[in-house]
Every structure is written in C-alpha cells, then in structure tokens.
C-alpha cells in the first residue's frame, strides 16, 4: 500500500461531474491499492429515505474529511486496503443489502453503485489485471 499523496488539484477534482469522479475514484483506488471511508462506531451510512442505504467511499483522505460534517462530524477518515475492500467489505455490504456511495462531496451526491459491480470494476482496473 502506498502512502496517500495530495490530489493534484482538490477543487478541480471536486468540481468534476459524478461519473467523472467515479472514474477518478476507480483509477486512484486501483493504483494506490486503498480507498477511504468515514468511521466512528461503524462506517458512515447514508439513507435516501426510500429504503436504500449506502456507505461513502473516497479515493483519498482529504475528500473523506470534507464530508465529515453534520451527522458525520464525529467520524474520522480511515483507510481500507484494496484487498480488504474487495474480499471483506464489499461482499459484506452485498450480503447486508447495502450499496456504496462513491465519492460524494460536500455539494454533490456521489454515484450509487452495487458493491459487486464496484468490486468488478476495481478488479479490472488494477494494474496487475491488465
């Protein structure tokens, strides 16, 4: 696992449309071999009021920390090694019927994705998969 590096231009990445942030997330997580979530007593979960609940994931701690506000103000950014994400967290979310909210920002909703679909994309994006 490599040490996180500061994003080249935080504001420029935050301004990307949702699907472009999603692609950025997949590429960065595959390259760095880690994702970031917000954790307190458990993972930060967001519900949409229609029965869909999801945990947020980000490509770097800086982005996660920006979302540690309001209901998540007591949460801290925590790294998730790619191996644990693929083999533990995403399968557990799938089993529990939870989704993943990829790369939400303070001003924009993330991309809601099924854990199995995200695992497939990350697996194919890994440098060793090419």
Alpha-carbon distances, residue 2 vs 14, 56, 62, 112, 122 (angstroms) = 22, 21, 16, 27, 17
Residue 1 has pLDDT above 50, yes or no: no
Tell me the pLDDT tens digit for each residue of 37-54. Answer: 999 989 999 887 778 899
Confidence of residue 128 (pLDDT cuts 50, 70, 90): low
2 DSSP 8-state letter:
P
Q: Which helix or strand (DSSP H or E) is residue 37 part of?
A: strand 34-39
Confidence of residue 8 (pLDDT cuts 50, 70, 90): low
Tell me the pLDDT tens digit for each residue of 59-77. Answer: 999 999 999 999 889 999 9
Tell me the pLDDT tens digit for each residue of 73-119. Answer: 999 999 999 999 999 999 999 999 999 999 999 999 899 999 999 99
Alpha-carbon distances, residue 34 vs 74, 99, 100 (angstroms) = 22, 18, 15
List of domains in the chain:
10-129 (3.40.1350.90)
DSSP SS3 for 77? strand
58 DSSP 8-state letter:
B
Backbone angles phi, psi at 69, to 5 degrees: -130, 175
**This model's pTM is above 0.85:** yes
Pairing verdict, β 99-102 and 111-113: antiparallel
């Amino acid at each position: 696992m490599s040490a996180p590096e500061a994003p080249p231009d935080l504001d420029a990445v935050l301004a990307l449309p949702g699907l472009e942030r999603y692609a950025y997330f997949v590429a960065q997580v595959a390259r760095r071999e880690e994702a970031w979530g917000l954790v307190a007593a458990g993972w930060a979960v967001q519900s949409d009021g229609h029965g869909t609940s999801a945990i947020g994931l980000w490509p770097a701690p800086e982005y996660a920390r920006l979302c540690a506000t309001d209901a998540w103000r007591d949460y801290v950014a925590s790294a998730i090694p790619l191996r644990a994400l693929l083999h533990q967290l995403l399968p557990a979310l799938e089993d529990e019927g939870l989704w993943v909210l990829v790369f939400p920002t303070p001003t924009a909703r993330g991309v809601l994705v099924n854990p199995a679909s995200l695992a497939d994309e990350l697996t194919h994006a890994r440098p060793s998969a090419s």
